[in-house]
Amino acid sequence: MSSPATQKSGLFDCRDAYVKTLEALGAADERIVAVVNDSVGSSKLGGFRDKFPERLINVGIAEQNMVGVGAGLANGGKVAFVSGASCFLTGRSLEQVKADVAYSQANVKLCGISSGVAYGELGPTHHSIEDVAWLRTMGDITVLVPADPWETEQCIRAAAEMDGPVFIRISRMGVPALPRAADASFTIGKADILREGGDGAILANGTMVCRALEAAETLAVEGISARVVNMCSMSPIDEDAILAAAQTGAIVTVEEHSVRGGLGSAVAEIVSQNAPCRMKILGFAGFQPTGSAEFLMEHSGLTATNIAASLRGLLGR
Amino acid sequence: MPESRPRRGQTLAERAAFVREQARWIRKRALRIVFEARQGHPGGDLSATDVLAALYFDAMRYDPADPRWQARDRFILSKGHATGALYSTLALAGFFPQEELTTYMQPLSRLNGHPNRNKIPGVETNTGPLGHGMPVAVGIAIAAQIDKADYRTFIITGDGELQEGSNWEAAMTAGHRKLASLTLIVDRNRLQQGAGTEDTVGLDPLDDKFRAFGWDVVEVDGHDIEALLPLLDGSTPHDRPLCIIANTVKGKGISFMENKASWHHGVPNAEQYEQAMKELDA
> In whole angstroms, what is the distance from residue B258 CA to residue B47 CA?
9
Model pLDDT for residues A219-244, shown as the tens digit of each residue: 999 999 999 999 999 999 999 999 99
Which CATH number covers residue A260? 3.40.50.920
In chain B, what are the domains?
Answer: 12-281 (3.40.50.970)
Residues A230 and A93 in one domain: no
Enclosing domain of residue A308: 192-315
Give the mean pLDDT of B74-80.
98
Strand bridging mode A142-144 / A108-113: unpaired
Identify the DSSP state of B59.
I
Residues A138 and A213 in one domain: no
> In whole angstroms, what is the distance from residue B236 CA to residue B233 CA?
8
In a domain, A47, yes or no: yes
At B9 the pLDDT is 82
Residues A157 and A244 in one domain: no
pLDDT of B126 over the 50 cut: yes
pLDDT of B1 over the 70 cut: no
> In whole angstroms, what is the distance from residue A28 CA to residue B115 CA?
35
C-beta of residue B216 within 8 angstroms of C-beta of residue B243? yes
Q: Quote ipTM for the complex.
A: 0.95
A106 and B CB contact within 8 Å: yes
In a domain, A5, yes or no: no
Model pLDDT for residues B198-213, shown as the tens digit of each residue: 999 999 999 999 999 9
At B189 the pLDDT is 96
Give the mean pLDDT of B153-179.
98
User: Percent of chain A scored above 90 by pLDDT?
Assistant: 94
Residue A279 in 3-state DSSP? strand
- Contacts across the A-B interface (CB distance below 8 Å): 105
> In whole angstroms, what is the distance from residue A193 CA to residue B182 CA?
50
Residues A296 and A229 in one domain: yes
B83 to chain A nearest CA, in Å?
16
Residues A172 and A199 in one domain: no
A95 and B CB contact within 8 Å: yes
- Edge-to-edge strands, sheet with A250-258: A192-195, A226-230, A200-204, A250-258, A278-284
Model pLDDT for residues A192-205, shown as the tens digit of each residue: 999 999 999 999 99
pLDDT of B166 over the 90 cut: yes
Residues A227 and A258 in one domain: yes
Torsion angle of the four alpha carbons B105, B109, B112, B116, in this order, in degrees rounded to the nearest 10: -170
Q: How many domains does chain A have?
A: 2
Residues A138 and A241 in one domain: no
Q: Which of residues 196 through 255 in chain A touch B, CB cutoff 8 A?
A: none
Torsion angle of the four alpha carbons B6, B102, B75, B115, in this order, in degrees rounded to the nearest 10: -160
R_g of chain A computed on alpha carbons: 19
**Domain closes at, from A176, A201, A235:** A176
Q: How confident is the model at residue B10 (pLDDT cuts 50, 70, 90)?
A: confident
In a domain, A108, yes or no: yes
Which CATH number covers residue A40? 3.40.50.970
Which residues on chain B are in Cβ contact (under 8 Å) with A73?
139-140, 142-143
Q: How confident is the model at residue A7 (pLDDT cuts 50, 70, 90)?
A: very low
Give the mean pLDDT of B127-149.
98
> In whole angstroms, what is the distance from residue B135 CA to residue A219 CA?
52
User: Percent of chain B scored above 90 by pLDDT?
Assistant: 92
Residues A199 and A308 in one domain: yes
Model pLDDT for residues B105-114, shown as the tens digit of each residue: 999 999 999 9
CA atoms within 13 A on the CB side of A288: 33
CB count in 10 Å sphere of residue B94: 17
> In whole angstroms, what is the distance from residue A312 CA to residue B81 CA?
56
Residues A127 and A158 in one domain: yes
